Structure 1
């Protein structure tokens, strides 16, 4: 059987060989294809943490746990040593104040000064806000995650088990509109929980590997909360692209042979979907190739 990671490596190849090269929002430029799918079987605890480069899976899981809190400020992330969201508020700070502050100094001020964090660490109504506190036209907040867990438990045959973050009325206030924007779930008659994640925009080198891990961790938590077993993760990408300053890194990754995928499991069952911590996740057998460095396009 072909190693499932080749699905990802094939995508890299498709984008490199057949991608449409064009200018993008960041000014860096991309090479992209439109429409892609990969599928990963989670039923034996095997998870898509890529092995052809090191993926910092704890960072991806911590980000997912932060989303579930409904938070929109980077201060809690920095307290967990997660720095992947700093670029956007830092760019805003530099633009609005004219101060050419370094990232380390900016992050330290966010950590030490709550007032500074409240003013400059906010990302706007991004993922967690929409997932947990979607503001409806009726003026009420809607907790999509709580509704999903309830439906998984009470009506698992439903075709309406999904949540999304594309709140048109609030897009303008977001540091970055949602890329991984729709998560839909499906329960088989033998009790397996499947997930389909639609990602409208996929930074294939840096973003997609993190999104695979984040979606997997959420699927494991949801399955446990609903008394189900993990099934299949189906990832669907819209604009799937490589930034032009990532092409050499993509070629390097493609030259590597995949190694056995690791296993992930939860060490305990939390009292609710809100009760999980990074210490609850255990990954075994992860022996990847070396990390590949690349710059984030902001």
Structure 2
């Protein structure tokens, strides 16, 4: 049997060698394929962690917990030494002020100044806001619509649906709120999730409108698998398959060294993910509730992030 990671490596190779070369929003340029799909069986603690380069899985897990908290400010991430969202507000700060501060200086300002963090740490209504507080507008007697204080918690509703109506075809949540896209630092890439219960197993499909195969994919696939495991545990189900799919799957043109190096490596080993505790709700997990074992990856491969 081919190693499960081989399907990702094949997609990476196919995208780099046959993808349509195009200019993109960042100005860097990509090679792009449309409509890719991969499938992973999560039985036996299996998890789609890349072995051909080291993946900082705890960073991905901290980001997922941040999404579930509903936060849209980078400060809680920076406090945990997680930098993956800093580049967008940093670019806005430098653009607004004409400054040219580096990431470390900007993050120190975020941590030191509450008012500065509230302004320049805010990303707009990104993932977590849509996941757990999708806005609701209530009609008023004068015909106006006023935003309600509490929005729709899609994740809580999903858990209830999985528990009480497992055969439903509506086990879905999304971050793609068209009315609020312009206010987001980055519109959601991993945007829609759907789940399916059969024979006591929970399977999930992630659809990404856009996926950076060189850098983003590794986090997206692991995070989706972790969330599926958390949902399965909360609903007393066994983990089934994770189906990962992408609209625009692409490789940035300045990632050629990453592609060459990674495709020269052969995947090996079977990384595993264990949940060490079952908290009261899906929102009560902590980073020390997750354990990855049997993970012996090859060295990481650095590459620039396109903002």
Give the structure 2 partner of residue 291 of structure 1: 300
CA RMSD of aligned residues (A): 0.8
**Deviation of 1:198 (Å):** 0.1
CA contact (8 A) 1:193 1:223 kept: yes
Q: Deviations over 1:44-97 (max 9, x none)?
A: 111001000000000001100100001100000011111000000000000001
Tell me whether 1:49 sits opposite 2:49 in the alignment.
yes
Residue 112 (structure 1) aligns with = 112
Equivalent residues in 2 for 1:1-298 (5 A)? 1-138=1-138, 139-140=147-148, 141-188=151-198, 190-298=199-307
Following TM superposition, where does structure 1 have runs of at least 4 consecutive aligned residues deviating by more than 6 angstroms?
A: none
Q: Distance in 2 between matches of 1:287 and 1:276?
A: 25
Point out where structure 2 has 5 or more consecutive residues left out of the alignment.
139-146
Report if aligned partners of 1:61, 1:278 keep a CA contact under 8 Å in 2. Answer: yes
Q: What TM-score comes out, normalization by structure 1 length?
A: 0.98
Give the SS at the match of 1:186: strand
CA contact (8 A) 1:161 1:185 kept: yes
Corresponding residue number in structure 1 for 2:141: none
In structure 2, distance between residues paired with 1:71 and 1:58: 18
Q: Comparing 75-84 with 129-138, which one deviates more in the overlay?
A: 129-138
Corresponding residue number in structure 1 for 2:144 = none
The CA distance in 1 between the partners of 2:78 and 2:179, in whole Å, is 29
Counterpart secondary structure, 1:200: strand
Displacement, 1:137? 4.2
SS at match of 1:135: coil
- In 2: Cα distance, 1:45 partner to 1:77 partner: 27
Quote how far apart the aligned CAs of 1:43 are: 1.0
CA deviation profile, 1:207-247 (whole Å, cap 9, x unmatched): 01100111111111101110111110000011000000012
Taking the aligned partners of 2:190 and 2:244, their CA distance within structure 1 comes to 10
Counterpart-to-counterpart distance in 1, 2:299 and 2:130: 36
| Per-residue Cα deviation, 1:145-195 (whole angstroms, up to 9, x for no partner) | 00000001100110000100110000000000000000000001x211000
Match of 2:143 in 1: none
**Are the equivalent residues in 2 in contact too, given 1:183–1:198 (CA < 8 A)?**
yes
Q: How many residue pairs end up in the alignment?
A: 297
| 3-state SS of paired residue (1:13) | helix
CA distance in structure 1 between the partners assigned to 2:81 and 2:246 by the alignment: 29
Contact kept? 1:38, 1:235, Cα under 8 Å: yes
